[in-house]
A and B are shown apart, each in its own frame.
Chain A
């Protein structure tokens, strides 16, 4: 018998256990070949077999070496529960099973001496989601007829850009009683109220990124939905920068300034303006943490786009080198505005925080009207890579913070001047239309979503610890990886089709929500249309409590 070395890592220490049925296995090897994490291996076991050969029972036993599949006991190459092995096994011989007794969070720290990093989303299970305790409860009927989702027309658009208070519009009536404009106004683009969230081309595989860009173009050109996609930090392929599709792309600049060189040098060749600029200050999934792209994912094309060597790429948690965030933002806004000659709206993205309202107030009171959008990102969103402690323990839920910002604007009579865009776990249950609609009633002009887009593409991760290995560069479905064989698992056309179809379904569902409340344009701030079964939530969000 072997001596027990209790500190060795074994399968029962890991978050997932492989359940393997040798009697069904034909040793085809598909699972081992598929597992991008190298979490299973072929091995040989010594097996005892009892048999009887004569006419009468005469049991004998025999030992033989049998080839089997077994789990790798390693804190580096451990099973993520992605289920790819199960997907490819023709005989149902293998599957991962969640291990409730996992010691992974402890042993990884003990053995590694470093903070745990991973991708995905928050793993600590929360209580019931706020948005799920809210319903659209104000139904039009009788004197106020509801509309017909099929027959009536709806204006499902949201502004991106700074909106002037009515008193500051430079309009005067002429002799024919027509308003004539005698000055310029800040640029505003009216776009679909759901933006494909900002995920960088470094975090995503080029196939995934291209699929999103394709879906965006298709939604615009073929479906008439003016959906915009944010590039995420890290630049954009030159081909897109020079194409007419740039007009559907919101370019993001973050604290690492990755990719901006290429964007700047492409400017003379641009035939269209981008849809907007988004200055990223923070991210809801890991507030206070900057971007993190681990060296494994810095493939050749990423090095080219970003202009960097193959190394861990860290964006500082803040825009450095300036005295204060206001000053930093102001300077960036001015340079961005100047770069595109004030034709392109510039917005800011921040992580939801207990202090979001003061940041928002600062921006909305700014007399120069420079900020054209406040993107507020709550906890529960996803990320390509972050420290687990940030993912699980920092951040602020989006619903109340968005509401606070809206009500802060209302109390100053400035609602709508800086469009509010919300994100953070929206569409988590798969139903983005409902979540987005409720956020809009609470005061958002629109929402943005990243993680859900990945799920449309086939991401198998979830917030109960499944997969979430986006940081490793070994994404089993080819979404967050630059490894060619893995990337080729993803069919970009199929992904684009999924995204397009999801948006079309969501568009229908939006109308199904607008019709009963009798509105043909988005009910921004119509909290009277919402009810909640939870008294605390109702009070906090200032909506009707029902039971």
Chain B
């Protein structure tokens, strides 16, 4: 089973906190991997919040291929951060030869273009890179987006932390939002892309569960947007649905829940917004989810949120103090990170709730 967690803080925090959050839940997951997405970056990336950062793991050849493509597209590198790896014998990690975290200037032609055009370019470039590196698994491109870093690796989360020197706290590599997950996809083949969090154009999702409407979701999503690809994991569908509902349709976040776990028909009948809810249920029935799930998501504006399946078959808890909110599959994770918080204010969201945390750390609870 998998465990998920997320931290949203007023101050920049180091990924070691995310490791700690997940480490305490290790009896619940199977120690087969570690993956995280950091957003609202601090440290060396802080000055470049408007510029895209590439997160990639690759071989020697992979680096060359990627650099050629980026160069050809006119991207100009500004900062590069390669983790100091501790390649000690005995560590349980299937490491790739290179980990690339680089921030770029947009190509000249794009400097003065609008946000939409730039975002399209970033997606197109990431898809191009991904495709180019696919043969012989020369590399894995996890994200290419402003103010976002993704790290994924196969192995024991503790050892992965050691390998990337993530246990040692510093202020060079930090973020105000970190989402993390500790399990490789053990349902299907082990593929690096299959580990969540997944990221697409500023949207991040991680999920603990099983999406039994995977095939329905996938068949529908494939035709909706060129960025909806891969489908290495059934949880990716939740990301694409979020992206579709919030970005493509432009609907407020609270409607995400109405799409993935629509209210039963008899409850819709009694609602004032019956017309909208029915239409959503009808037109987006192929994006509904079934099966046990807890979802944690992050929006481009750094909003962090969580919600569950309609029967709440997977746990999640939210703890917070004045400066930090932590979402976790298990309470022990929160106890580790926020031992002194007032645990009476912990939130156990119900099956019809979406809990969202904005940049002021305001916790909002919406009943579906």
Contacts of A181 in B (CB 8 A): 275-276, 279
A-B interface, 5 closest residue pairs, ranked by CB to CB distance from nearest = A413-B223, A144-B210, A177-B252, A528-B215, A166-B283
Q: B278 at the A/B interface (Cβ < 8 Å)? A: yes
Are B291 and A159 in contact, CB atoms less than 8 angstroms apart? no
Are A527 and B282 in contact, CB atoms less than 8 angstroms apart? no
Per-residue B-contact encoding for A515-538, CB less than 8 Å = 1, 0 else: 001111101111110000000000
Question: Across the two chains, which residue of chain B brings its CB closest to A178?
Answer: B273
Contacts of A188 in B (CB 8 A): 278, 282
The segment from A58-66, A147-155, A202-210, A331-339 found at the interface with B is A147-155
* Residues from 167 to 226 in A contacting B, C-beta threshold 8 Å: 167, 169, 171-173, 177-181, 185, 188, 190
Question: Across the two chains, which residue of chain A brings its CB closest to B210?
Answer: A144
Q: A105 at the A/B interface (Cβ < 8 Å)? A: no
Contacts of A152 in B (CB 8 A): 311
* Residues from 469 to 500 in A contacting B, C-beta threshold 8 Å: none
* Residues from 280 to 338 in B contacting A, C-beta threshold 8 Å: 280, 282-286, 288, 290-292, 310-311, 313
Q: B113 at the A/B interface (Cβ < 8 Å)? A: no
Contacts A153-B264, A155-B265, A416-B285 aside, 20 further interface pairs with beta carbons under 8 A come to: A144-B209, A166-B244, A171-B251, A178-B273, A179-B255, A181-B275, A413-B224, A415-B219, A415-B286, A416-B286, A518-B292, A519-B213, A519-B290, A520-B310, A520-B311, A523-B290, A525-B286, A526-B212, A526-B213, A526-B215
Q: How far is the CB of A180 from chain B (nearest CB, A)?
A: 8
Q: A52 at the A/B interface (Cβ < 8 Å)? A: no
Q: How far is the CB of B27 from chain A (nearest CB, A)?
A: 15
Per-residue B-contact encoding for A112-152, CB less than 8 Å = 1, 0 else: 00000000000000000000000000001001110100001
Q: B106 at the A/B interface (Cβ < 8 Å)? A: no
Q: A163 at the A/B interface (Cβ < 8 Å)? A: yes
Q: A314 at the A/B interface (Cβ < 8 Å)? A: no
Q: A270 at the A/B interface (Cβ < 8 Å)? A: no
Contacts of A416 in B (CB 8 A): 282-283, 285-286
Per-residue A-contact encoding for B242-263, CB less than 8 Å = 1, 0 else: 0010001111101100000010
Q: A155-B265, A179-B255 are in contact. Are A415 and B220 (CB under 8 A)?
A: yes
Q: A163-B282, A164-B283, A166-B284 are in contact. Are A145 and B212 (CB under 8 A)?
A: no
Question: Across the two chains, which residue of chain A brings its CB closest to B310?
Answer: A520
Question: Across the two chains, which residue of chain B brings its CB closest to A414?
Answer: B223
Q: A157 at the A/B interface (Cβ < 8 Å)? A: yes
Are A173 and B215 in contact, CB atoms less than 8 angstroms apart? no
Residues of chain B having any CB pair with chain A under 8 Å:
1, 209-210, 212-216, 219-220, 222-224, 244, 248-252, 254-255, 262, 264-265, 273, 275-276, 278-280, 282-286, 288, 290-292, 310-311, 313
Q: A155-B264, A181-B275 are in contact. Are A144 and B285 (CB under 8 A)?
A: no
Q: A410 at the A/B interface (Cβ < 8 Å)? A: yes
Show 19 A/B contacts (Cβ-Cβ < 8 Å), sorted by A.
A153-B264, A155-B264, A166-B249, A166-B284, A169-B249, A173-B251, A177-B254, A185-B275, A410-B220, A410-B223, A413-B220, A416-B282, A519-B212, A519-B213, A519-B290, A521-B262, A525-B219, A526-B212, A526-B215
Q: A413-B223, A415-B219, A416-B286 are in contact. Are A169 and B279 (CB under 8 A)?
A: yes
Q: A165 at the A/B interface (Cβ < 8 Å)? A: yes
Contacts of B264 in A (CB 8 A): 153, 155
A73 to B252 Cα, complex, angstroms: 78
A358 to B61 Cα, complex, angstroms: 48
A230 to B313 Cα, complex, angstroms: 40
Q: A412 at the A/B interface (Cβ < 8 Å)? A: yes
Contacts of A159 in B (CB 8 A): 282
Which one of B222, B250, B279 has the greatest number of beta carbons of chain A within 10 Å? B279
Are B311 and A147 in contact, CB atoms less than 8 angstroms apart? yes
Question: Across the two chains, which residue of chain A brings its CB closest to B277?
Answer: A179
A527 to B212 Cα, complex, angstroms: 11
Are B283 and A165 in contact, CB atoms less than 8 angstroms apart? yes
A416 to B313 Cα, complex, angstroms: 28
Q: How far is the CB of B266 from chain A (nearest CB, A)?
A: 9
Are A410 and B284 in contact, CB atoms less than 8 angstroms apart? no
Q: How far is the CB of A531 from chain B (nearest CB, A)?
A: 14
A167 to B276 Cα, complex, angstroms: 13
Contacts of B290 in A (CB 8 A): 518-521, 523
Q: A164-B283, A166-B283 are in contact. Are A144 and B252 (CB under 8 A)?
A: no
A408 to B1 Cα, complex, angstroms: 36
Contacts of B252 in A (CB 8 A): 173, 177-179
Contacts of B1 in A (CB 8 A): 143
A174 to B112 Cα, complex, angstroms: 31
**B215 in complex: contacting residue of A167, A179, A180, A527, CB < 8 Å:** A527
Are B283 and A145 in contact, CB atoms less than 8 angstroms apart? no
Which one of A181, A410, A518 has the greatest number of beta carbons of chain B within 10 Å? A518
A413 to B215 Cα, complex, angstroms: 13
Which one of A145, A159, A166, A181 has the greatest number of beta carbons of chain B within 10 Å? A166
Which one of B213, B250, B284 has the greatest number of beta carbons of chain A within 10 Å? B213
Are B223 and A412 in contact, CB atoms less than 8 angstroms apart? yes
Question: Across the two chains, which residue of chain B brings its CB closest to A409?
Answer: B219
Q: How far is the CB of B239 from chain A (nearest CB, A)?
A: 17
Are B282 and A526 in contact, CB atoms less than 8 angstroms apart? no
Contacts of A520 in B (CB 8 A): 290, 310-311
A181 to B283 Cα, complex, angstroms: 14
A518 to B252 Cα, complex, angstroms: 29
Question: Across the two chains, which residue of chain A brings its CB closest to B293?
Answer: A144
Are A525 and B212 in contact, CB atoms less than 8 angstroms apart? no
Contacts of B219 in A (CB 8 A): 410, 415, 525
A286 to B1 Cα, complex, angstroms: 54
Are B273 and A518 in contact, CB atoms less than 8 angstroms apart? no
Question: Across the two chains, which residue of chain A brings its CB closest to B1?
Answer: A143
Q: How far is the CB of A139 from chain B (nearest CB, A)?
A: 11
A345 to B278 Cα, complex, angstroms: 15
Contacts of B223 in A (CB 8 A): 410-413
Which one of A411, A415, A521, A524 has the greatest number of beta carbons of chain B within 10 Å? A521
A410 to B223 Cα, complex, angstroms: 8
Are B276 and A171 in contact, CB atoms less than 8 angstroms apart? yes
**A179 in complex: contacting residue of B222, B251, B262, CB < 8 Å:** B251
Per-residue B-contact encoding for A409-428, CB less than 8 Å = 1, 0 else: 01111011000000000000
Q: How far is the CB of A226 from chain B (nearest CB, A)?
A: 9
Question: Across the two chains, which residue of chain A brings its CB closest to B264?
Answer: A155
Q: How far is the CB of B64 from chain A (nearest CB, A)?
A: 37
Question: Across the two chains, which residue of chain A brings its CB closest to B244?
Answer: A166
A102 to B262 Cα, complex, angstroms: 59
A220 to B273 Cα, complex, angstroms: 25
Are B212 and A157 in contact, CB atoms less than 8 angstroms apart? no
